[in-house]
Amino acid sequence: MHLLLAHRGTISDGDEAIDLGQSPADILFLSAADTELAAIAAAHAQGKRPFTLRLASLMSLKHPMSVDAYIERTARCAKLIIVRALGGASYFHYALEALHACAARHGAMIAVLPGDSKPDAGLTPFSNVPLDDLNALWAYLIEGGDGNSRSFLDYATAMLSGDEKPGAAAPLMKAGIWWPGRGVIGVEEWKAVSASGIPNSKEEAGFKPTVAISFYRALVQSGETAPVEALIEALAAEGLRPLPIFAYSLKDPLSTGILERIFAEAPPDVVINTTGFAVSAPGADRAPSVLESNGAVVLQAIFSATSKEAWASSSQGLSARDLGMNVALPEVDGRVLARAVSFKSAARYDAAVEANIVASEPDTGRMRYTAQLAANWARLRNRQLAGRRIALVLANYPSRDGRLGNGVGLDTPAGTIEVLKAMRDAGYAVSGFPADGDALMRHLAEGPTNSGHDCKVIRETLSLSGYKAFFASLPKKIQDEIAAHWGDPASDPYFTDGSFALPFTRFGNLLIGIQPARGYNIDPKESYHSPDLVPPHGYLAFYAFLREEFGADAVIHMGKHGNLEWLPGKAMALSSECYPEAILGPLPHLYPFIINDPGEGTQAKRRSSAVIIDHLTPPLTRAESYGPLKDLEALVDEYYEASGGDPRRIRLLGKQILDLVADIGLDRDAGIAKGESGDEALKKLDAYLCDLKEMQIRDGLHVFGVAPQGRLLTDLTVALARVPRSLGERGDASLHRAIAADAFLGFPLLLNAEKGQVLSVGEKGQLPAFDPLDCDMSTPWLGPRPSLLVETSNTPWRTNGDTVERIELLAAELVSGEIQCPPDWPATQSVLTEIETHLKPSILACGKAEIAGLLRGLDGRFVTPGPSGAPTRGRPDVLPTGRNFYSVDSRAVPTPAAFELGKKSAELLVRRYVQDHGDWPVSFGLTAWGTSNMRTGGDDIAQALALIGVKPVWDMTSRRVTGYEIIPPALLGRPRVDVTLRISGFFRDAFPEQIALFDRAIRSVGALDEDAADNPIAARMRVEAARLAAAGLDEASAQKRAGYRIFGSKPGAYGAGLQALIDEKGWERRADLAESYLVWGSYAYGAAEEGRAERGLFEERLRSIQAVVQNQDNREHDLLDSDDYYQFEGGMAAAAEQLGGVRPAIYHNDHSRPEKPVIRSLEEEIGRVVRGRAVNPKWIDGVMRHGYKGAFEIAATVDYLFAFAATTGAVGNHHFEAVYQAFVADPRVRDFMAEKNPAALADMKERLLEAIDRRLWTPRSNSASFDLAPPRHTGTA
């Protein structure tokens, strides 16, 4: 990498090394705060001093080569180096180490100071000056202001000259009100000046809400107030009353005390915050911010650290630094992301200190948008309930009438009715809506839908002239792109008889609409070449009507997830040319969203300014045995009970069992090989049946605003208590382990009386280790059989699996209160007490909390933030729901816990590959999703690092990842595996630092001088670089391109490209699906690469992979619940097969229990899900409680099974046969679907027929085709 010589007027905010080009000086001052540098430069200009001074931004020294160049050119000659390290040592570790070493070598003094007012012991070792000097220098910077800045320089001079040092820092006002041209003023003066001081164009009679602007005191001290002044003007232009308040820090008690007094006298309706970081810390108890004191919505506007040019040209929108400080952490405080409203520019070059003095330059357009968003939230808050107009949008994909109201895990129609009832009861003018969700769906299906059917009823239209007026208001770039792709508006499918017939219906002041499709349904072939397809005219007409004709005050997108937030544009800090902004506009946006999907919810927060109202997952339960599986289980028990008896009876039983197993295809799912001995086959079958029985599956769907009751509550509570929570101590221990310990089962699980932990002590000579969460199900049970467990079941107690089942049954009885916990069971009692006092109440609170959270948002008020994650993965802290969830601090990913799981999973994966193929793996393809890595703290990226033989390095104080360490072959104990990552679009947006981490790590591994057998990565990179060099590339370019291992969607685009082809039957051969996957995912990413088109190199990577790897981190869903799995997992497999001519192995790994990752083939996982969930009467009965949406879920399962068959061939005839028998041949289920959702039944039959036609399924009976054929209509001429 070359060094860029910094020149005047240029701001660098990337990862490229730069040379600041400063000449040596006596004193160096380095700070991450541009305002601080400007203040010190101004103080230096006010008087001569005997020593020379250089100022530099610490942000320019993030790259090691930048640091080395600065030391060589400038720092080695300094006598005093002062560094202000905002964020601590972890942000600038290399720079601090190097500067400290430089000072030691050359006898210089170095003072490293915290970047804020909090002491930081982690910085002290980098300093070599007395503590008094450190504290004095730090105090001048903390207090700030012109006088303290001069004293700071005087003190530094005295440290070198030995002269008398100046007095202590003069305390300055920590917080207050600031007004342009007046400076710091009081509340009464603000009331006078804000009422008449700035003219506005949109003031309504009697309506002038107060909007507070919160900003750092440093802007006042340095005079860099231009962005604040611009925001004041923008708010005033919207008829608002700006209240500009500065504060040293929102964590500083003196500052917050002043703000509380100001807000008591001038309560804000909305707050626009421009400070970074958060008051609360992720994972800690919430600390309410002073900004929430009046229940005001807090918008987060960003004074960006990048230049406007960098922002405008970036598909990311913000740097990794801005993402962390100004987006991710503020989300922890519940702030709603608005826009980046100002950008850095080099205002002037100060020759005396040889530095660009940087200023913030406001962006008028972004200021105006943010002010409009604030105005709309303020109007919503102040409008009478009966006058508020609310739009509620239901997702619809695939674009069929059987799939209206999509919402993952949610009975969307029933939940919508609950919302309408709550709004009506609260005083909204909502009336005339159907009595239940099924009736609502019938009502909506009568009108226009995405299916394009001839609708019976057109309720709402938008005239062509009205549409053209809206279209003309859009940026020219958007107008040109839509016109170029979709032509004249009159050609749109929604256009009829001179206007757009739109899928809306009104119930008083509430408008319900079916969100239009993105456009792939109009022409599925677009999937091949338009991953960033712009939406059609009908899509824009829908939102134009919502905004302009209906005049919505707020919009609700109901359930995970719609398509608005996935339209083309920047990842965050959107511009006016980004489609989500252009289409939705500055409308208040509420989004009920499932709690276990932080990633896709965060996408809506960052790209459509959504306030999330998180909701509970579906109820969860044990799969248990049913039908033929129950019969088999009884036969297996009979077989083992007969052991030692009549050999002929045993042989007959064994044959009967294995014949039945083969007849239903269970032998393939259970991994029973042809020719395998009967004993071994029966042992595998026994373990498989136990595993299926103990699977966690969903029991119906969640209804927004309704908490589970009765058995559903009990089963969900048991599911949450099954695994350890928090530290796993006392009440947070696993309920199942506690029962095992208390029942004195003679296995090594005993109590630590001090902590209440269940600990393994198997080494003390007791029976072989048994853990109900991690045991071999088929191993014979050798422990005692306490009566309380015996009485839970009348089935034989033969194996560990039978023991686990009894513990499960007893856990449910204890939780439900059917039986009382024995008094001499202390561990169990401790967990049950926690369940009764905290866990169960938090579940029961979810229903009311969800409605309350939504109504609070609709009232224009602050919605409390909360953590997100999978509750069953030891995260009951995410409950109760109804909060505005946040995700993770991406700088801490992967966490140490995630790396432990990733490493364990990587070793098991390699071991499984060797077991399956007899040789070490060389190359894997791994999918990394943003959502799952947010949920887990980075399991996928950790696994990828472990596979290549690298471990992260963490700062021990902040726990943030600061680098990586390459594990030598001798310690690794196996060859490295060459990993190609296919990242999702959201992973690209949310985890730029993890992309850089893996890119740098694998390139470092590729540069090692190791044997090809130990390091196939280096061997492959050398070969590839030589090939590229031979093709004419220079050496550096060849090496760079040979090192690409991270690929993803086109910048600004999302997805894997298969959904529309599958949904709309837009493919003929598997090669078509592979082609779309390649087109959509062939953009290279890395530390210095933001999406370079590299189709050829992506093909090279996939051609060589031996296995496709997909991880699943929880069992609250499965691979037949979502299109994502088949698109990414199946798409990669299809592409690798087409390119390499051989189908790669496909591993679908279970990370739902971090202590016990399980490696399974895709075929194994599909078999488990089909048997354990899809055709299980318990699941079917559960979804049948939900009418229309339940039938929707059944049809969706068949769709995703079909898609896996299409992409991978991993679906057997027996799987299709099983779903056919369960859903079509069973009249109970078929008739239910025909009554509740006939369109879903027709879709499902059509999909199964397609499987036959494409030879993906050969039915056992010829009658299947007849049963699946659509009804024939006859009539007379």
Looking at residue 1128, the DSSP 8-state letter turns out to be: I
**Amino acid, res. 968:** P
Whole-angstrom Cα distance, residue 682 to residue 677? 9
Percentage of residues in the chain having pLDDT higher than 90:
84
Whole-angstrom Cα distance, residue 150 to residue 147? 5
- Lowest average pLDDT, out of 642-646, 743-747, 1104-1108, 1214-1218, goes to 743-747
CB 220 within 8 A of CB 184: yes
Whether 4 shows a pLDDT value over 50: the answer reads no
- Tell me whether strands 554-558 and 589-594 are parallel, antiparallel or unpaired: parallel
Nearest to 1113 by CA among 943, 995, 892, 969: 943
Whether 13 shows a pLDDT value over 70: the answer reads no
CB 1211 within 8 A of CB 1247: no
**pLDDT band for position 62 (cuts 50, 70, 90):** confident
Give backbone dihedrals phi and psi of 393, rounded to 5 degrees, phi first: -110, 130
**pLDDT band for position 888 (cuts 50, 70, 90):** confident
Percentage of residues in the chain having pLDDT higher than 70:
95
**pLDDT band for position 198 (cuts 50, 70, 90):** low
Give 305-328 pLDDT, tens digit per residue.
999 999 999 999 999 889 999 999
Which tops the pLDDT comparison, 811 or 205? 811
- Lowest average pLDDT, out of 511-515, 897-901, 1066-1070, 1088-1092, goes to 1088-1092
3-state SS of 561-621? CCCHHHCCCCCCCCCCCCHHHHHHCCCCEEEEEECCCHHHHHHHHHHHCEEEEEECCCCEE
Give backbone dihedrals phi and psi of 24, rounded to 5 degrees, phi first: -65, 155
Q: What is the mean pLDDT of residues 973-988?
A: 98
Q: Residue 251 is encoded by which pair of tokens?
A: 């964590």
pLDDT, position 202: 54
Whether 2 shows a pLDDT value over 60: the answer reads no
CB 927 within 8 A of CB 1110: yes
pLDDT, position 764: 39
What top-level class would CATH report for the domain 4-161? alpha beta
Give 650-696 pLDDT, tens digit per residue.
989 999 999 999 999 999 999 999 888 888 999 999 999 999 999 99
pLDDT, position 1: 34
Whether 1186 shows a pLDDT value over 70: the answer reads yes
Cα dihedral 62, 65, 68, 70 sign: negative
Q: What is the mean pLDDT of residues 1086-1100?
A: 95
What top-level class would CATH report for the domain 175-346+358-379? alpha beta
Does pTM top 0.85 for this prediction?
Answer: yes
- Say if 4-161 and 175-346+358-379 have the same CATH topology: yes
pLDDT, position 520: 87
Q: Find where tokens 């919503």 sit.
A: 380
pLDDT, position 752: 41
Q: Residue 489 is encoded by which pair of tokens?
A: 């508006």
Whether 763 shows a pLDDT value over 60: the answer reads no
CA dist 203 → 187, 207, 640 (Å):
22, 7, 84
Number of Cβ atoms within 10 Å of the Cβ of 481: 19
Whether 7 shows a pLDDT value over 70: the answer reads no
Give 1142-1151 pLDDT, tens digit per residue.
999 999 999 9
**pLDDT band for position 246 (cuts 50, 70, 90):** very high
Q: What is the mean pLDDT of residues 72-91?
A: 92
pLDDT, position 197: 52
Whether 151 shows a pLDDT value over 50: the answer reads yes
Quick one: 877 exposed, middle or buried, by C-beta within 10 A (0-12, 13-18, 19+)?
A: middle
Looking at residue 820, the DSSP 8-state letter turns out to be: P
pLDDT, position 784: 86
Give the residue extent of every domain in the chain: 4-161, 175-346+358-379, 385-617, 624-693, 710-844, 891-1160, 1166-1277
Query: What's the N-to-C CA distance of the chain in angstroms?
Result: 80
Whether 336 shows a pLDDT value over 50: the answer reads yes
CB 872 within 8 A of CB 720: yes
Q: Which helix (H) or strand (E) holds 1243?
A: helix 1238-1253
Nearest to 25 by CA among 51, 59, 63: 51
Instruction: Output the average pLDDT for the chain.
Output: 93
- Lowest average pLDDT, out of 9-23, 452-466, 528-542, 1024-1038, goes to 9-23
Whole-angstrom Cα distance, residue 171 to residue 169? 6
Nearest to 653 by CA among 667, 637, 664, 674: 637
**pLDDT band for position 15 (cuts 50, 70, 90):** low
Whether 891 shows a pLDDT value over 90: the answer reads no
- Tell me whether strands 297-307 and 336-350 are parallel, antiparallel or unpaired: parallel
pLDDT, position 526: 73
**pLDDT band for position 754 (cuts 50, 70, 90):** very low
What three-state secondary structure class fits 866? strand
- Lowest average pLDDT, out of 117-131, 624-638, 768-782, goes to 768-782
Nearest to 1233 by CA among 1241, 1225, 1222: 1241
Give backbone dihedrals phi and psi of 169, rounded to 5 degrees, phi first: -60, 140
Number of Cβ atoms within 10 Å of the Cβ of 677: 9
Number of Cβ atoms within 10 Å of the Cβ of 648: 8
